[in-house]
Amino acid sequence: MDAGCLKKAVLGCAVLVLLVVQGANGGDFPLYPPIVPLPPLVVPANNPQTAAKIELGKQLYFDPRLSGNNWISCATCHNPVLGFGDGLPRMLGGPTSREGGRHSPTIINCAYNEFQFWDGRASSLEEQALGPIQSPNEMNETLDNVVRKLNVIPGYAKAFKEVFGTPVTADGIAKAIAAFERTIVFANSPFDRYMQGDARAMSESAIRGMELFMGKAECIVCHNGPNFTDNQFHNIGVPADGPIKEDLGRYNVTKNNADKGAFKTPTLRNITDTAPYMHNGFFPTLFEVVQFYNGGGGRSENKSADMHALHLSTQEVEDLTEFMKALKGELVQIKYEAIPLAYPNLPKDF
Ligand code: HEC
Ligand code: HEC
């Protein structure tokens, strides 16, 4: 069955999808991976989670000394009080706080991503972590220098010895930060509780929105599976905005023409915390995002065949938005014993 045919089957069977997704029908119906609560996180065998490593990763994540001017930390752009983003359309980084071309995505549930970055140029969190440190537009530091700086801080030297049995290394920095990021998991949203049998966890409007999401509005075509992403790349025609005239997205990685202007389908969990939206922060509100989809997306020669006008009523647009609000979960606190370090002082809650 080809993709178009598959889609027709899905729409024709929207009701059946609903039954399958809700678990009322135990049958096997291999359409889009259903939207369901998150499964336990799979941790790579070469970087097991330990309390001491997570604590070290947390210190590194909040430490501006990882940057060239000792000013910018990961949390500058992935700030816990801003939904682990920065609340800006596009990041500000580098020594002169220049505006970059892309929106800082949240790191909430990024441990579930098959690809990191809007264009998927990294896959593992370990691989990703050293990128921003070295990028001239972000933290603008060399790995040699950061390793040298941290090695002379007694707290770090001691912690690396304890966790990795070595002095500070770039590999250790990457592993510790990745271990910390694997604790930033948000779950137990109204949607999750509804799916687990609490019929009152979502409002009637959100429930209607969920049906639209899986049916008439076709969002599930791309935002599917427990983290609301197919881990694929699509061009939905988001207009250019900001310093980059034309962002080719996934094409920069694959050099495949079909990938021009395609970006990773982002998670929709905790989406109310991470405005503005899209790879360049083009849309300030969820309402505008839904209106954009309602009109069939933007204009692009290379636009996905899955984008077309949806003919949603005003009430339906509102219901879809309500459903997305119900995806706001809470940090699943994983308690580990903290190992005090000499430096630095950290925010109390993290
Ligand atoms: C100056 C702002 C800035 C800083 C500092 C920064 N990031 Fe980012 N981060 C971004 C932007 C912008 C992107 C998206 C870039 C792209 O897709 O090309 C991103 C992407 C990511 C992603 C991928 C998320 C996803 O869903 O694709 C992760 C994970 C991440 N950053 C973690 C970190 C870590 C860890 C640090 C510190 C070592 C860090 N970032 C420092 C701005 C920043
Ligand atoms: C053809 C695949 C596809 C379909 C269908 C689709 N999306 Fe998306 N969605 C994406 C991609 C890809 C992006 C990121 C695009 C970009 O930044 O250029 C995105 C971005 C978003 C964002 C912004 C997320 C963020 O963190 O910035 C929201 C919200 C969203 N979609 C909701 C929806 C809703 C609601 C529907 C159904 C009406 C829908 N999507 C249908 C692929 C899709």
- pLDDT confidence of 5, banded at 50, 70, 90? very low
Share of the chain above pLDDT 70, in %: 86
In the predicted model, what is the mean pLDDT of residues 29-58? 90
pLDDT band at 95 (very low <50, low <70, confident <90, very high): confident
| Residue 3: band (very low, low, confident or very high) from pLDDT cuts 50, 70, 90 | very low
Distance 122 CA to ligand 2 centre (A): 20
Instruction: State mean pLDDT over 127-132.
Output: 93
Residues with CB under 6 A from ligand 1: 72, 74, 76-78, 91, 93, 100, 102, 104-105, 107, 110, 113, 116-119, 125, 128-129, 132-133, 138-139, 177
Report residue 334's pLDDT band, with 50, 70 and 90 as the boundaries.
Answer: low
- Other CB atoms within a 10 A radius of the CB of residue 155 amount to 16
Two structure tokens written together for 195: 């799916």
Sequence-distant (6+) residues with CB within 8 A of 42 are none
Among all bound ligands, the one having the nearest atom to the CA of 323 is 2
Pairing of strands 263-264, 233-234: antiparallel
Rounded to whole angstroms, the Cα distance separating 293 from 142 reads: 42
Q: Which of 55, 114, 126, 138 is catalytic?
A: 138
Separation between Cα atoms, residue 176 and residue 60, nearest integer Å: 8
Pocket of ligand 2 contains residue 219 by CB under 6 Å: yes
Percent of the chain with pLDDT over 90: 80
Predicted TM-score (pTM) of the model is: 0.89
Ligand 1 mean position, distance from CA 206 (Å):
31
Q: Quick one: pLDDT band at residue 153, thresholds 50, 70, 90? A: very high
Indicate if ligand 2 lies below 6 Å from the C-beta of 266.
yes
Q: Is 316 a catalytic residue?
A: no
Tell me the C-alpha distance between 283 and 275, whole Å.
Answer: 8
Q: Determine whether the shortest distance from the Cβ of 326 to ligand 2 is under 6 A.
A: no
CA 103, 100, 111: angle at the middle one, nearest 5? 40
Segment 233-243 mean pLDDT: 96
Of all protein residues, the one whose alpha carbon is nearest to atom 41 of ligand 2 is 219
Q: DSSP letters along 142-184, please?
A: -HHHHHHHHHTSHHHHHHHHHHHSSS--HHHHHHHHHHHHTT-
Cis peptide before 30 (omega within 30 of 0): no
Confidence of residue 333 (pLDDT cuts 50, 70, 90): low
**Index of the ligand 1 atom closest to the CA of residue 139:** 5
Q: What are phi and psi of 330, to 5 degrees?
A: -125, 155
How far away, in angstroms, is 114 Cα from ligand 2 center? 17
Q: Which numbered atom of ligand 2 lies nearest the CA of 233?
A: 12
Domains of the chain (ranges; CATH) run 1-30 (no CATH), 31-40+189-330 (1.10.760.10), 51-185 (1.10.760.10)
